[in-house]
Amino acid sequence: MGIFGIYGEEQGDVASVTYYGLYALQHRGQESAGIAVNDDGVFSIHKGAGLVGDVFCHETLASLGRGSMAIGHTRYGTLGTRGTINAEPLAVNHIKGRLALATDGCLVNSGPLRRELELGGMIFHTSSDAEIISGAIIKERLDAPSIEEALKRAMRRFEGGYAIVLMSPSKIVAARDMNGIHTLVYGRRQDGRFVVASETSALDAVGAEPIRELMPGEIIVFTDGEARSITDNCATAPERLCIFEYIYTARPDSAIAGVSVQEARRRAGELLAKAHPVEADVVVGVPDSGLDAALGYSEASGIPYKIGLIKNKYIGRTFIAPGQDNREDKVRIKLNPIAAAVKGKRVVLVDDSIVRGTTSARIVKLLRAAGATEVHLRSSAPKFLNPCYYGTDIDSREMLIACNYTTDEIAKIVGADTLGFLELSDVEKIAEGTSAGGFCKACFDGNYPTPPMQKYVSKYDTKKTESEA
Ligand code: AMP
């Protein structure tokens, strides 16, 4: 999910700036989008299902009016949490005022937390963690002197990977989970406004110069014209930045923990070429996140790089569409091979990951139909062997192809001549020179930074979601 916030002292068209910021974060979630604008403590909110460009038009942006600050969100939905009802920002009235928040990630203890809040009388309208997070903050706010103090106390109850941007009548407050699993960076524009976002590319989009990333557990309060850091929750847990941000999630023009995402992907390709060399005529990447890894493979192997697959720019990331059938349909209309680049050639096909194997199987077939004589598949992520509990839609083990088959078997299933994955021992090398203290690679090695998932599951929520679909 993508989160964004802008803070200033003066009134301005913060809705439009947030809209541009969300556009730059569209790749992090395409299920819903929303913006909340704060005009002297009065909040205007618009949100809905779909892409940023579908949810907002001139009229809706204008209807949000001017304000001194705003927050925004793009949602990436996993099954069971679909629908406009879970769209963010989530706005609530509480005894001490108003609060709007946008979140990235997931809590692993949302089940017990929600139950505790419900037993205390709280009523939930959604199945999202955002509502649990806001409920926990509001509860703490009853006797905390400020919203940031309430957030600080609430964070000590949260287990999971999350980043939060919240807006009170007079502040924007941003926070990153204690393990630093999710990314959050802030910067400043020439007009003096502070901007906070999931990725640096969103800062670039709105003309903000990055200042720095939030530290794991850090809270930054934007108020009275300045940014104030609260570090009481820092260094309470080892940093475990999600390595998959480099491999897939983030945009290549973003930098995370001092490392260019594009550079990390190129390095993954180099390492892949060293670990899994093959005799071939051309290297082709799967757009978009496989392209840089393909370039790295080509550079390291000396096999020429060609653009062999064209992606329809007007379709979202296939994986985002929940439900297997839907996903397969989308793959079909998403990619088209360039026959001239692959016909009669032995092709090395580089994708960023193989999760269920659906995409790879389809692309291998496309390349063969376009005349490729051999297809050697390479994944710039190691084998996915474990689900992600922190907000990336990596499925249950039954759905993960690498959990159920050997490498040779997977090659056969997807129709590739050979198959190679980035070695687990190489995965951290892709972020060479990073300032991160460590990485979460749980989807590959099963070493989770938090206790096991205790998700809130309501059969009523599930039924409702299905009928909504
Ligand atoms: P699959 O078809 O299930 O093997 O999925 C692999 C494809 O999905 C790759 O081409 C990736 O680019 C993409 N992908 C991998 N992980 C994710 C994710 N967590 N969310 C969305 N797309 C993903």
Query: When comparing pLDDT for 31 and 461, which is higher?
Result: 31
pLDDT over 90 at 328, yes or no: no
Q: Give the C-alpha separation, 221 to 230, whole Å.
A: 8
- Per-residue pLDDT averaged across 271-293, rounded? 97
* Mean pLDDT of all residues belonging to the chain: 92
Lowest mean pLDDT: which of 83-97, 185-199, 396-410?
83-97
Q: Give the C-alpha separation, 417 to 346, whole Å.
A: 10
Please state, for a pLDDT cut of 70, what percent of the chain lies above it.
92
Lowest mean pLDDT: which of 93-102, 304-313, 380-389, 448-457?
448-457
* β-strands 335-337, 418-421 pairing: unpaired
* β-strands 32-39, 42-49 pairing: antiparallel
Partners of 367 in the β-ladder: none
* Residue minimizing CA distance to atom 14 of ligand 1: 319
Q: Give the C-alpha separation, 302 to 299, whole Å.
A: 5
Phi, then psi, of 427 in degrees rounded to 5: -65, -35
Residue 354's closest CA among 415, 287, 292, 410?
Answer: 410
Q: Please report the DSSP string for 6-25 in residue order.
A: EEEEEEE-HHHHHHHHHHTT
Q: Give the C-alpha separation, 137 to 151, whole Å.
A: 5
Residue 77 CB: number of other CB atoms within 10 A?
A: 22
222 neighbors 7 (Cβ within 8 angstroms): yes
Q: Give the C-alpha separation, 332 to 315, whole Å.
A: 11
CA of 327 to the centre of ligand 1 (A): 10
Pocket of ligand 1 (CB under 6 A): 248, 286, 289, 317, 319-320, 351-360, 392-394
147-165 per-position pLDDT tens digit: 999 999 999 999 999 999 9
- CB hemisphere CA count around 80 (13 angstroms): 14
Q: At what angle do helices 129-141 and 110-119 cross, to 10 degrees?
A: 50
CA of 357 to the centre of ligand 1 (A): 9
89-126 per-position pLDDT tens digit: 999 999 999 999 999 999 999 999 999 999 999 999 98
In the chain, the N- to C-terminal Cα span, in Å, equals 20
359-393 per-position pLDDT tens digit: 999 999 999 999 999 999 999 999 999 999 999 88
Pocket probe for ligand 1: among 243, 244, 353, 421, the residue whose CB has the most ligand atoms within 8 Å is 353
Q: Which two tokens stand for residue 227?
A: 């940014």
pLDDT, residue 396, reads 86
202-217 per-position pLDDT tens digit: 999 999 999 999 999 9
3-state helix, strand and coil shares in percent for the chain, rounded to the nearest 5: 35, 25, 40
* Residue minimizing CA distance to atom 18 of ligand 1: 393
Q: Which segments within 168-303 are labelled E, that is strand?
A: 172-176, 185-189, 194-197, 208-213, 219-223, 226-230, 241-242, 255-256, 259-260, 282-285
pLDDT, residue 228, reads 98
pLDDT over 70 at 324, yes or no: no
Residue with tokens 């060293």: 274
- pTM comes to 0.93
pLDDT, residue 38, reads 98
Class of domain 255-445: alpha beta
CA of 448 to the centre of ligand 1 (A): 21
Q: Please report the DSSP string for 72-114 in residue order.
A: EEEE---TTS-SGGG-S-EEEEETTEEEEEEEEEEESSHHHHH
pLDDT over 50 at 466, yes or no: no
Could you tell me which CATH number the domain at 2-240 has? 3.60.20.10
Query: When comparing pLDDT for 84 and 66, which is higher?
Result: 66
Q: At what angle do helices 358-369 and 407-414 cross, to 10 degrees?
A: 50
pLDDT over 90 at 454, yes or no: no
CA of 430 to the centre of ligand 1 (A): 19
Domain boundaries, the chain: 2-240, 255-445
Task: Give the confidence band of 127 by pLDDT, cuts at 50, 70, 90.
Answer: confident
Q: At what angle do helices 291-301 and 261-275 cross, to 10 degrees?
A: 50
Pocket probe for ligand 1: among 359, 363, 365, the residue whose CB has the most ligand atoms within 8 Å is 359
Q: Give the C-alpha separation, 89 to 91, whole Å.
A: 6
285-300 per-position pLDDT tens digit: 999 889 999 999 999 9
pLDDT, residue 461, reads 58
> Closest ligand 1 atom to the C-alpha of 357?
4
Residues 6+ away with beta carbon under 8 Å from 379: 272, 350, 351, 352, 353, 354, 419, 420, 421, 422
366 neighbors 333 (Cβ within 8 angstroms): no
pLDDT, residue 78, reads 59
CA of 162 to the centre of ligand 1 (A): 21
Q: Give the C-alpha separation, 268 to 266, whole Å.
A: 5
- Per-residue pLDDT averaged across 124-147, rounded? 95
